Amino acid sequence: MPITKTNFSLPYQTAYYQGKVREVYTITEDFLLMIASDRISAFDVVMPKGIPFKGQILNQLSADMLAQTKDIVPNWLISTPDPNVSIGKKADPFPVEMVVRGYLVGHAFREYNSGKREICGVSLPDGLQQNEKFARPIITPTTKAQLGGHDEDISKEAILEQGLVSQEDYEQLEHYSLQLFEKGTQIANDRGLILVDTKYEFGKTKDGEIILIDEVHTPDSSRYFYADQYQQRLENNQPQKQLSKEFVREWLMENGFQGKTGQQIPEFTDDVVQRISDRYIELYEKVSGKPFQKAPQDHLGERILRNCQQAIDELV
C-alpha cells in the first residue's frame, strides 16, 4: 500500500509540517527530517490516492541530483537513512521559488497562448510556438504558497520592491539557478533527454549560508522531453513525448479538473494509479541511468519509523 501519511512522534522532534507531498520533522533546532510520501499533487491540489513507489523515486533521485550539483551550490542533505527519507541541515527558506524555463511549455505556454507577452517581468517575442526553445533560459519566479494555497507568478522587480529577498541574495539565487539548470541540462543530455523547465528552492542557514533545499531535477519539480524526437515533433506541431508530471495534469484537464473552485477531482482508478506509477519509474530509470530497485512495501510505515529513529540516534 502506498504511504500517504506518517505523523510520527520522533526523538528530539520540535516541530512538524505537512506539505503537499513531503512531511517535514524538525529535529532539535538544527536538522530537518523529510519523509517523501506517495501523495501526488497537481494544480496545487493533493489527489485522493497515493502512487506506489513515488516517494522512494523522488527521494532517491533528488539525493542523486544533490550529490551531482553540490560543487555548484551547497545543499541541505546529510544522509538518506531510508528509501523515502532524507535528513539535512535546517535553513530558513526564501519565500520565492526560482523557476527556470528553457522552452515555451506548460504554464508559460498557457499564459502566452492567452495573449500575454510578459511573464514574471520577462518579455517574450511574438510568433513563438508551443515547445519552442527560448534563445536563453529565463527565470520566472513564484511566491511560495502556504499549505493549501497556490503559487503565484511574481517578477524580480516585485520581489525586491516588496522586500521578499534582498538584492544581493536574489542575484546569488539567480546565479545559482542558472548554473544548476546548465548542469541539469548536461545530465539530461547524457541520458538522451532535454531538461525543459524546473524549479529550485533555497534557504539560508543560521550561519548566513545560502543552500539548496528540497528536491532537485525530479519529475515533481522538472519537465523532460525525449531529445531524439524533439525537432521532428516540433516541426510537425505534434505534442512532445515527455517525462514529467505534466501527463497527470493533462489527464486531469481532459477529465474536467484544473484545480478551480467547484471542480470535482476525477476518479483515480487502479489502472490510472498503476500507469502513473509506471511513468515515475520510467522517469527515474531514464534520468538516473540506473534500474529502479523497488523497496519492500510490507509494513512500510514501520520500516520508515524504525530507520528514522536509528538515524536520529546517530545524529544527535
**pLDDT tens over the chain, length 316 residues:** 899 999 899 999 999 999 888 999 999 999 999 999 999 998 889 999 999 999 999 999 999 999 999 999 999 999 999 999 999 999 999 999 999 999 999 899 999 999 999 999 999 999 999 999 999 999 999 997 655 456 799 999 999 999 999 999 999 999 999 999 999 999 999 999 999 999 999 999 999 999 999 889 987 789 999 999 999 999 999 999 887 777 898 899 999 999 999 999 999 999 999 999 998 898 899 999 999 999 998 899 999 999 999 999 999 8
Strands 45-46 and 41-42: antiparallel
Q: How many residues does the chain have?
A: 316
Distance CA 113, CA 102 (A): 17
pTM: 0.87
The three cell numbers of residue 37 are 510520501
- Domains, the chain, ordered by start: 13-91+267-315 (3.30.200.20), 93-244 (3.30.470.20)
Angle at 311 between CA 88 and CA 285, to 5 degrees: 65
| Phi and psi, residue 121, nearest 5° | 85, 0
Distance CA 39, CA 56 (A): 11
